[in-house]
Structure 1
Amino acid sequence: MSNMHRILWFDQEVRSNHFPNCTQLAHQFELSTRQANRDIEYMVNSLGAPLHYDAKKRGYRYTDATFALPSTYITEELRRTLAFLSHRYQDYNYGGYDEYQAKLPIMMQVSELFRRLSDVNELQSQQIPAYEINAKIVDIANQLSKAIQNNQVLTIQYEGMEGEETHTFHPYKLCYKQYVDYVNGWCEQEEQQKLLRLDRIVRLERAEGVFRLHNEHSAAYGSSNLPVHPFTAIITFLDSKPSEAWREYNVIEQEDSIYKIEFIDVSLFVDHLMSTRDWAMIVKPKWLRDKVMARCEEITLKLSKQEVCR
């Protein structure tokens, strides 16, 4: 339920000089004092309410009598979307080192503004990436976030490379790498920590079992310190340097025409290699060359079958 009705009540109590406090708010709406305190913090930090705690009255008052609550409130659906965007912008890590360092302050500013549900018009004029919002992914991210906060084990139906898979999953953290949303956690079937793409999750539900935490992880959106170690590929290019098609990857020049490229999702990276024409050779790793070769053979086989059908 939205906190709008609680904020309206608290605002009216302050205006009536009743000096409400956290305990009274919690009692009025049968909340925990922690939740009531978050509502008051939201009024101060996000709505700009000039609240001041009066120790003598043991309650709050406005230091500016002309203050009025904003006429427009953020819905719960929009609140979840903003939280989702917050963690995306905080996980921004694309381009070269100089580009990343130049954009990092503005990315953190955007993330913090979205996290606090503040007015994004206050943002300084500077180019930032625009993200497409997929309602299904936002909903899945919201369900996963709640499961993380409550230490819940999940049964996840997942579209894997070999077809639909079922994972008994202990979710640890949401993250966003190379324009793809992931959840990191422990998979019981594979007995190891695993990344699952949110856009490949068909459905999820709570499962029986005891939640297992194998590493220290917090439950909040937007942490970029997830222990995800990227793969690296050494690739040569035809025109001495990568084209704009590679801007979403962390590309590091090694020597003339040779670059080290970091990536997280192997399948997505192979797809990218198949769709671009400016690279000349995969120097290493060999397993990546084998995967590209296997993809080419798969396509060739499909085409040859079509010729037979004619």
Structure 2
Amino acid sequence: MKSFEHVYRLHRLLKTARYPVPFARVMDELECSRATARRVLAYTRDVLGAPIETTRDPRGYRYTDAAYELPGFWFSAEELQSLLTLQQLLATFQPGLLDEALAPMRARIDQILKSQGLSADNAGRIRLLRLAARAPGQHFATVAAAVLQRRCLRIRYEARSNARISEREISPQRLVHYRDNWYLDAWCHRADGLRTFALDCIRGAELLDDPARDIDEACLDRELGGSYGIFAGAPTATAVLRFAPARARWVAAEQWHPQQQGVWRADGSYELSVPYHRDDELILDILRYGPEVEVMAPAVLRDAVAERLERAAARYRKPGA
């Protein structure tokens, strides 16, 4: 662990503690040895000037000034990861798209990272590999403005399944970055319901003066995030997937859905239950595991996966075999 992370953790521990913190708890929080914990305490007190006092009854450490803050910028590993992720995410927009608006944000993130000893070159050593990412399209700025200004949009939308273009008036709710692609959750006034639109399929976008209809966050999560995948809808079934022991440990550490349930079986396999509505995306993810996963339920999903596998195998059979 980097020294600034040790300092950050110690600072947060002493800031939030109501009573003096025992040395053993300092070691546990910093996840370090006794010698390292003593060095961090001494550095924070003597070099950074933190008002750390050693108490005798009860024995421990505390701040004598509750308003004290560390000088400069200090971040946990999770916060640094978020900054680096945001920095690289901003870099994925095609040249010209929001350049002027995003330039100050990029500069500010660079400044914060530099304060932690991370130059632009060093930050680039953390790679975010994007798989099957699509450009967000030329209407990202208009859509984002509608979301933030809470105004209606008129869009021309091309359905990817059949290439038909429809015109809709929508009340945008939130932008979603999912699996390296951008989507818009919105209330569609034509369909009179919530829908999710892929930004790269929006062929035209006009910002309207009408105020957007606001949908409660809990309703959005229930209707659009209740089941598996981006084009989800309220769940209507639960997929039960059994992963072979060779793959079980990896899958057990993954989150397929916030409401998933997992059970280890006596033979070392792992059974994962995931709520879903549309099975398109779920089937594609199941097929990634090939023979190391079996769909146990429901029967309609099991049959659909089996049929896909049979069609795939047929492509590799020799004629007449």
Structure-1-length-normalised TM-score: 0.46
Which fold has the larger relative contact order, with Cα–Cα distance below 8 Å and residues 6 or more apart in sequence?
A: 1
